[in-house]
């Protein structure tokens, strides 16, 4: 009997090709909530195939900056904005460039895991496909679910219960499900806003391993309050500060090793050594 051209998952056509990770650049980004200026001319290059950590005290604008990087702030009552955000050189705010382009190319994972609680694990992973009107065959979807859950380090734990609801997982598993859901639309950049703050140390470790494994295929920008985590996972680090009601600025940025061991600014040294 003749065998089908597509007998093994590896031989089947992919739902979406995996694009190369992109370099993301913020140029002179300033932001305001009404009259309150929260970021002042922040410039930062977040290179492809690297993990960039954003560190700094609460309220200095890290989350606002992260949302501006994929136009998410336009969803939350919006900060007014000046400056540019370039994805491999293309301004995501260019007139004529659709917001969905930015959101699809630049995925986001939040502090609090937010899978669709009543939706099955299988459908949770594929939710972004539906939102972006990406068509896929049943076999293509099966492959994509397995691939993304494997990359998020969750496949072995859940492969026999893909029909269970997302809300039935532990917090750490839910966060890994959210990472799998982000990966399914093949982003070129993944933004993570304190992804481990709500998790126990074991789950945190698993997510750090996942970040390590992902960085060759997606540029990662992570906000973290955990200095050991910043030192473990990031290649580049940027220290944000907003002192005495002034807007947030980047005090210093550079290779993580340098930021932790030989920072130029004494405030960076104080912050990374817990003297803030």
Q: Which residues bind Mg ion (CB under 5 A)?
A: 63
Residue with smaller CB distance to ligand ADP, 63 or 124:
63
Q: CB 83 → Mg ion: shortest distance, Å?
A: 19
Q: CB 88 → Mg ion: shortest distance, Å?
A: 26
Contact partner, 166, from Mg ion, ligand ADP, none, Cβ < 5-8 Å per class: none
Residue with smaller CB distance to Mg ion, 119 or 198:
198
Contacting residues for 75 by C-beta, under 8 A, at least 6 apart: none
Q: CB 191 → ligand ADP: shortest distance, Å?
A: 12
Contacting residues for 214 by C-beta, under 8 A, at least 6 apart: 151, 183, 190, 220
How far is Cα of residue 37 from the mean position of the Cα atoms in its chain?
25
Applying CB under 6 A, which residues contact ligand ADP?
33, 38, 58-64, 76-77
Q: CB 83 → ligand ADP: shortest distance, Å?
A: 15
Cα 206-231-47 angle, rounded to 5 deg: 90
223-251: b (≥16 Cβ within 10 Å) or e = bbebbebbbbbbbbbbbbbbeeeebbbbb
Residue with smaller CB distance to Mg ion, 63 or 70:
63
How far is Cα of residue 12 from the mean position of the Cα atoms in its chain?
28
Q: CB 161 → ligand ADP: shortest distance, Å?
A: 35
Contact partner, 104, from Mg ion, ligand ADP, none, Cβ < 5-8 Å per class: none
DSSP strand pairing (249-255 vs 189-193): unpaired
Residue with smaller CB distance to ligand ADP, 64 or 182:
64
Q: Answer whether 215's CB lies under 8 Å from 221's CB.
A: no
Residue with smaller CB distance to ligand ADP, 64 or 124:
64
């Amino acid at each position: 009997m003749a065998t089908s051209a597509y007998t093994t998952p590896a031989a089947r056509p992919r739902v979406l090709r995996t694009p190369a990770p992109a370099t993301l650049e913020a140029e002179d980004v300033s932001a305001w909530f009404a009259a309150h200026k929260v970021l002042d001319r922040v410039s930062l290059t977040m290179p492809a195939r690297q993990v960039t950590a954003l560190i700094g005290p609460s309220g200095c604008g890290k989350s606002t900056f992260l949302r501006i990087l994929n136009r998410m702030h336009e969803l939350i009552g919006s900060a007014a904005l000046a400056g540019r955000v370039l994805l491999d050189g293309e301004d995501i705010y260019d007139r004529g460039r659709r917001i969905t382009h930015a959101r699809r190319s630049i995925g986001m994972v939040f502090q609090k895991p937010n899978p669709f609680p009543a939706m099955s694990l299988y459908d949770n992973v594929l939710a972004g496909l539906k939102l972006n009107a990406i068509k896929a065959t049943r076999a293509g979807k099966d492959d994509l679910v397995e691939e993304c859950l494997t990359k998020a380090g969750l496949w072995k734990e859940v492969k026999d219960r893909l029909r269970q609801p997302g809300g039935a997982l532990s917090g750490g598993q839910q966060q890994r499900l959210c990472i799998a859901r982000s990966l399914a639309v093949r982003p070129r950049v993944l933004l993570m806003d304190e992804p481990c703050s709500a998790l126990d140390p074991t789950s945190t470790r698993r997510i750090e391993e996942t970040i390590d494994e992902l960085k060759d295929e997606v540029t990662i920008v992570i906000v973290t309050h955990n200095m050991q985590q910043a030192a473990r996972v990031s290649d580049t680090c940027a220290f944000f500060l907003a002192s005495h009601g002034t807007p947030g600025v980047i005090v210093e940025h550079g290779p993580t090793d340098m930021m932790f061991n030989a920072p130029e600014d004494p405030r960076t040294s104080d912050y990374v050594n817990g003297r803030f």
